[in-house]
Structure 1
Amino acid sequence: MTIRLTLACERYDRTEALRDGRVRPAGVDLTYLPQQVEETFFRMARFREFDASEMSLSSYALGVARGDSPFVAIPVFPSRFFRHSGIYVRSGSSVTHPSELKGGVVGVAEWQLTANVWIRGILEDVYDLPADAVSYRTGGLLEPGRPEKLKVDLQGRFDVTPIEDTQTLSAMLAAGEIDAIYSPRAPEGFEPGGPIRRLFADSRAAEVDYFRETGIFPTMHVVAIRRDVYEENRWVARSLFNAFAEAKRLAEENFEETAALRVMLPWYLDEAAATRELMGDDFWSYGLEPNRHVLETFLRYHHQQGLSAQELKPEELFAPETLETTLV
């Protein structure tokens, strides 16, 4: 039996073989819909438009914690990102260390964004900036009028206020109306000589140090299957997991190709070697066990920041069919 499924996902090197058909999930006639993550998240969270999609880890965990998630995830992480580089201040700001933001005002597009959960947690754990030590303003980064995709109830634990529908966080930071922005996307004005700079002048060095101390390469997105699709054909979870793993394996083969460069970066082979020396061969791992510590840390942050009433366990996030390896 072959079933037809739609998958909405950004175009990544690690998923390209799924998009172009070199890898086909067993039993599935897959239609890969490449689109930007914001569009995918909004359409899947609000309208359930796709059979499966890339999804914000935080948004997915919200539904699991509430016990009413319309999705079931597999432990595939199409997006991972160190987030020290996602903290911005004015170019003329005297702030050079996160702890100096205590008592200030920080802009975030949405409280529940995965990147912002990671940033707040890292700043509290490592840099002496508790999440409740600043006030927050939510709204559009580049365009006005952005609402939270999902309703959150913080029960008054944090000072979070939406900005006006005519305002943007980028303009407010440039004008000095807020003190910083936490964001997965760069704000307007972040450019050479522009009014906005990163808080960490050498964010890469900070991120390398963070990995050496913690072993954490933050997970941003999972792959979620609509629950009705999963319940009708539970084998789909494992089939998709295996296909994503094979597509990633094919992408990793490019790191060994020396006859001709596969991407337009002259020293990417050296970069790949340096990354493996620091992070190991399987630095972009799928599956539960290689990511248990990363997920436990994220779920602790999620709970501490008022997004889940209880601290979830990593096993609660994923289809059980994807948690064990077949024994022979």
Structure 2
Amino acid sequence: MTMAVSEVPTLRTNLAEYAVTKALRDGQVSSDVVKLDFCGPTPAHSGFKSMVRENAFDAGELAIVTFLQAKAYGKPYVLLPAPISGRFQHHCAGFNIDFGHLDPKDIEGKRVGVRTYTQTTALWIRGILRHEYGVDLDKVMWMTLNDGHLAEYSDPANCQRLPKGSSIPDMMLQGELAAALLGEDMPKDPRVRTLVPNAQEAAKDWFAREGVVPINHMFVVHEDVSRQRPDIVRELYRMVVESRRQADVPSLFPPVGLEANRKGIELAIDWALDQRIIPRRLSVDELFDDVTGSLG
């Protein structure tokens, strides 16, 4: 990708429509400096693998865990200090009460379903189970549907692949899995309970102590864009922040800016290393370059 300063380039962009991106997606927030071709799939996470394996996009959203792995394995993307999505994850582990009550530590020695081991929701809820409830994550057999986004990465030994076409929610409801890490896919079923007791209250209590809203996706850009056209990167950041400003953003949502996100990103790094998702400790600052690190 080579871009002359005089031209208005079009960037292949993988960005879904959320409240915070709606004004950007529907053209209320636009630019004379850059055009965005929203050519990514729905849902956006279906494009993460091709982004990090084939450089399929020039810009867009990427799960924070996928980005940490991409950085560790030398992929050519750089982070902007602009979260696209984030939320508390305490409610994202569930079980069927028909098969008996489960406390968090009860999943040790049992089979727990998760779409992929490296899924960002899974990172956060496993970290909560480990650090708040003393769960030994190595004693759980994680039953997965898919491999992660990075070709270089292999799941830990205590992961096992489910048969193709398996439904984790159905298997959890039928008792074939003791519990499941599901996020938005949690069945709306009266038998389902959260593994974390009083999950909403626990999340509030955790936030009071940690001051972090877990990040799901952040905005990234190909390093060629940042190197050749720092003006475009600054413009992308302006557009994302403006789109967010026009939205009705929840009061508890990851902030913008590097320093405002430092603690949340550090926590993601700590837990990714602890859960054997990244091969080495990354520093927050190496995720940004001179251009993106000075934004905001």
Q: TM-score range by the shorter chain?
A: 0.7 to 0.9
Q: Secondary structure at the match of 2:240?
A: helix
Q: Secondary structure at the match of 2:37?
A: strand
How many Å apart are 1:28 and its aligned residue?
A: 0.7
Matched, 1:14 2:20: yes
Distance 2:147 2:130 in 1: 26
Distance 2:61 2:31 in 1: 16
Structure 1 counterpart of 2:193, one-letter code: R
Matched, 1:62 2:69: yes
How many Å apart are 1:197 and its aligned residue?
A: 3.5
With over 3 angstroms needed to count, the CA separation of the structure-2 counterparts of 1:241 and 1:308, relative to structure 1, is same
How many Å apart are 1:138 and its aligned residue?
A: 0.6
Structure 2 counterpart of 1:237, one-letter code: V
Q: Which runs of 5+ in 2 are unaligned?
A: 1-5
Q: Secondary structure at the match of 2:113?
A: strand
How many Å apart are 1:26 and its aligned residue?
A: 5.5
1:2-22 CA-partner distances (Å, limit 9, x unpaired): 222232211112112211222
Distance 1:51 1:30 in 2: 10
Within 5 A, what are the aligned runs for 1:176-195? 176-187=175-186, 190-193=187-190, 195=191
With over 3 angstroms needed to count, the CA separation of the structure-2 counterparts of 1:167 and 1:247, relative to structure 1, is closer
Asked whether the equivalents of residues 13 and 39 of structure 2 are also in contact (C-alpha less than 8 Å), the reply is yes
Asked whether the equivalents of residues 226 and 291 of structure 2 are also in contact (C-alpha less than 8 Å), the reply is no
Greater RCO, CA 8 A, separation 6+: 2
Distance 1:182 1:150 in 2: 21
Q: Secondary structure at the match of 2:85?
A: coil
How many Å apart are 1:96 and its aligned residue?
A: 4.1
Q: CA RMSD, aligned part only?
A: 2.3
1:264 aligns to what?
none
2:43 aligns to what?
36
Q: Secondary structure at the match of 1:76?
A: strand
Distance 1:119 1:284 in 2: 17
Q: TM-score, normalised by structure 1?
A: 0.80
Structure 2 counterpart of 1:106, one-letter code: V
Matched, 1:311 2:281: yes
Matched, 1:219 2:226: no
How many Å apart are 1:86 and its aligned residue?
A: 0.9
With over 3 angstroms needed to count, the CA separation of the structure-2 counterparts of 1:32 and 1:164, relative to structure 1, is closer
Q: TM-score, normalised by structure 2?
A: 0.88
With over 3 angstroms needed to count, the CA separation of the structure-2 counterparts of 1:82 and 1:119, relative to structure 1, is same
2:3 aligns to what?
none
**Which of these residues, 250, 260, 266, is aligned with residue 290 of structure 1?**
260
How many Å apart are 1:311 and its aligned residue?
A: 1.3
How many Å apart are 1:306 and its aligned residue?
A: 1.0
Q: Which runs of 4+ in 1 moved over 4 A?
A: none
How many Å apart are 1:115 and its aligned residue?
A: 1.1
Matched, 1:321 2:291: yes
With over 3 angstroms needed to count, the CA separation of the structure-2 counterparts of 1:317 and 1:22, relative to structure 1, is same
